[in-house]
Amino acid sequence: MNKILIVGYGSIGKRHLENILLQKNIKIIVCTKRNDLTKLEKKGIIIVNTIADALLHKPNIAFITNETSYHIKTAIKLAENGIHLFIEKPLSHSIKDIKKLEKIVNENKIIVQIGCDHRFHPCIKKIKNILDSKKLGKIISAYVENSSYLPDWHPYEDYRKGYAAKKELGGGIALTMIHELDFLYWFFGDVKKVFSITGKFSDLEISADDLSMMTLNFNQNIIVQLHLDYFSRPEFKSCKIKGIDGTVYWNSDLNEVKIYSQNKKQWKTVLKKEDFKRNSMFIDELKYFLKCVKNKEETFNSIKDGKKTLQIVLDAKKSSKQGKIIRQNKMTV
């Protein structure tokens, strides 16, 4: 039996809990400061207020879903007790203590996965397969966008009070919407140069950045423009990648992947997911992680990967502040 601890019970903690409840042979412990969870206790879920109390129930797996600024501190305490870790994105808001966590993870042979669910999106997976097949030839450039309106995320609560709005908790568009950087790193590997304008530009009542525009030069000399914002309606995501032999394109409105062939001079739809359900990504992500824990296999989105994408965000903020290109060969990771 897996004893699964969920640390933090915000929106993403709730989503993971509901999906974990669908699994067999599990026991769940939730660590939260909230005191209005009698409905969960009636389902047999154990509620505790501290990590120390949670450890008394001897969990072997933990989902870290508290505020970003607490991720590493929480992960270190759990890893020291031999607990496998699913850490919600982003890994952290700073590089501090990540090396300490890595050392403990390696010594205790802990399985770690960073929770970037877009790697389980059928359209993003299809684009990855197309890139790996070399159908587009040498890749030259890409444009990626993720635009949404922060108050629409959780209409049932005040957006100003959520961690995504607060700089001190590790919020802000660049960190919170790290999904795109994650799959770009998955597609293209390391970045060598970053230039960005990242900051607070809208009238939203938040302390964190609400716009990030990055130009990224990947090691394969692929140039990517990335646009992230908190202030746009309707929500829209897109990815267009151009190669010598063709172009691949996806957007969230149609949820289809299309390829343009330079030779045939026409578009062809290679995947259409009209019935796509967002929660399917989280379920697939959960099953993959539990399988890796069972088989004692390293995940394909480990601390190393989370650290790389975090450094890109930190360098984007540095670039914006200094008004210059930041070279990634000076990475501190």
Q: How buried is 310 (Cβ within 10 angstroms: 0-12 exposed, 13-18 middle, 19+ buried)? A: buried
Token digits of residue 219: 């090691």
For the 2-116+285-301 domain, the top CATH level (class) is alpha beta
Domain boundaries defined on the chain: 2-116+285-301, 118-273+308-330
Residues whose CB is less than 8 angstroms from the CB of residue 263 and which lie 6 or more positions away in sequence, other chains included: 245
Asked whether residue 331 carries a pLDDT value surpassing 80, the answer given is no
274 vs 268: which has the higher pLDDT: 268
What average pLDDT score do residues 60-73 get? 97
Token digits of residue 295: 């088989």
pLDDT of residue 329: 63
CATH superfamily entry for domain 118-273+308-330: Dihydrodipicolinate Reductase; domain 2 (3.30.360.10)
Q: DSSP string covering 15-82, please?
A: HHHHHHTTSSSEEEEEE-S----HHHHHTT-EEESSHHHHHTT--SEEEE-S-GGGHHHHHHHHHTTT
Using one digit for the tens of pLDDT, what is the confidence trace for 137-178? Answer: 999 999 999 999 999 999 999 999 999 999 999 999 999 999
